[in-house]
Structure 1
Amino acid sequence: MTLKEEFATRNFSIYGQWLGILSMILCFAIGIADIFLFNIGIIIFCALALASSFIILFIEVPLLLRICPTSATFDATIRKVSTNYMRAGVYAAMAVVQWLSMIPARTSLIACAVFLSFTAICYLLAAVKHQAFVGSKTLGGQGVAQMIV
């Protein structure tokens, strides 16, 4: 299935997964860029954005759990985030943290908050519409991770 065909399925979990990848890229890039503002409050939220980007990477690309040396506890925690409701909850929590970053100062971390919120909404819509989670083949879903054993 090509990327175009994946988007044509109108499954909100596919949209959520790709928005999650965009959120990961934004959290990483903006987390590094804003850390140089030298405001202790912003530095804390930048560190949280950087941590969120790595968590998102392992949530959205399941192949990495097989090839990266991580602890069994971390793997078990990430594997619990498998349903659309759980993914929506995790992204909503990360979005709330980034929305709180506006308290010390208004920075570009708001872009992370917006994309994390959109991702949470997509996963929530998938869950409410009873759409099964479908991982993108491009990102290592649908049996790709199981082939590497």
Structure 2
Amino acid sequence: MTLAEEFRSRNFMPSELRAALQWRGNGEMSDGTGVLCMVLCFALGIANIFSPVLRIIFSVICLACSFIILFIEVPFLLRICPTSAKFDAFIRRFTTNWMRAAMYAVMCGIQWASLCTGASSLIAAAVVLSIAAIFYALAGLKSQEFVGSKTLGGQGVAQMIV
């Protein structure tokens, strides 16, 4: 299916709608907005760590969010990284579009609240997290089933390893 056909189908499944952000040569679409959120949160969390005291709190939260997003968007890491059972159970809650939309909405709300410390580059993280929340909410509204990418560790990766 071409990119134009994906948009014409009005399928708001994030892994398909985000095809414009990241395209793989083998034709598989990836969850580009989630990956973009992860990278931005990590970079901006580090970049704002040497700021006024209150902004440091928001930058540490942004940095922590990047690792949470990493484990949610790349579920294969739960198998290869030594994590606790509680952390695994927490991450496994976010398997539906609505739960992911809620998670991204909470994260973007926290980053929008960072504006109380003054304007900073954390606004970029808030905007991208908001876009991801909207994408997942649209997919949930249309009752579209969540489809994980094989490339990022979704369904089918275990068969590829074994």
Q: Equivalent of 1:72, from 85, 90, 101?
A: 85
- For residues 1-149 of structure 1, the aligned pairs below 5 Å read 8=6, 10-14=11-15, 15=17, 17-37=31-51, 39-145=52-158, 148=161
Residue in 1 that maps onto 2:24: none
Q: Name the TM-score, length of structure 1 as normaliser.
A: 0.89
CA contact (8 A) 1:24 1:57 kept: yes
Unpaired runs of at least 5, structure 1 = none
Moved over 6 A (4+): none
CA RMSD between the two structures: 2.0
Q: Name the TM-score, length of structure 2 as normaliser.
A: 0.82
Greater CA drift, 98-107 or 14-23: 14-23
CA contact (8 A) 1:85 1:124 kept: yes
Measured in 1, the distance between the counterparts of 2:82 and 2:159 equals: 17
Larger RCO: 1 or 2 (CA < 8 Å, sep 6+): 1
How much identity, in percent, do the aligned residues show? 59
Query: How far 1:13 moved relative to its partner?
Result: 2.7
Letter in 2 for 1:111: A
Measured in 2, the distance between the counterparts of 1:133 and 1:146 equals: 20
Letter in 1 for 2:13: F
> More helix per residue: 1 or 2?
1
**Matched position secondary structure for 2:116:** coil
